[in-house]
Amino acid sequence: MKLHKVLLSIVASTCLSFSFVAQAKITVFAAASMTNVLQEIKSEYVKANPKNEMDFSFASSSVLARQISQGAPAQVFISANQKWMDFLEEKGAIETKSRRDLVGNRLVMVAPKESKIENVDVLNSQWHSHLANTYLAVGDPDHVPAGKYAKEAFIFLKQWGDLETKLARANNVRAALALVEQGESPLGVVYATDAAASQKVKTVAIFPENSHPAIEYPVAIVKGQDNEESRQFLAYLQSESAVKIFQKFGFSIK
Q: CA separation (Å) from 96 to 58, 173, 226, 238?
A: 22, 27, 11, 17
Task: Tell me the pTM.
Answer: 0.86
Same domain, 156 and 232: no
Same domain, 150 and 198: yes
Same domain, 96 and 115: no
CB 176 within 8 A of CB 146: yes
Q: Return the amino acid letter for 84.
A: W
Q: Consult the annotation and say whether 185 binds a ligand.
A: no
* Domains identified in the chain, total number: 2
Residue 15 lies in a domain: no
CB 141 within 8 A of CB 151: yes
Q: How many percent of the chain have pLDDT more than 90?
A: 87
Please state the rounded mean pLDDT for residues 233-237.
96
**Residue 117: CB atoms within 10 Å:** 16
CATH number at residue 30: 3.40.190.10
Q: What are the residues whose beta carbons fall under 8 Å from the beta carbon of 165, sequence distance 6 or more?
A: none
pLDDT tens profile 66-91: 999 999 999 999 999 999 999 999 99
Q: Return the amino acid letter for 139.
A: G
Q: Which of 1-5, 144-148, 198-202 is predicted with the least confidence, judged by mean pLDDT?
A: 1-5
Domain with 126 in it: 107-206
pLDDT tens profile 206-233: 999 999 999 999 999 999 999 999 999 9
Q: Consult the annotation and say whether 191 binds a ligand.
A: yes
pLDDT of residue 16 exceeding 90: no
Q: Consult the annotation and say whether 33 binds a ligand.
A: yes
Q: Consult the annotation and say whether 146 binds a ligand.
A: yes
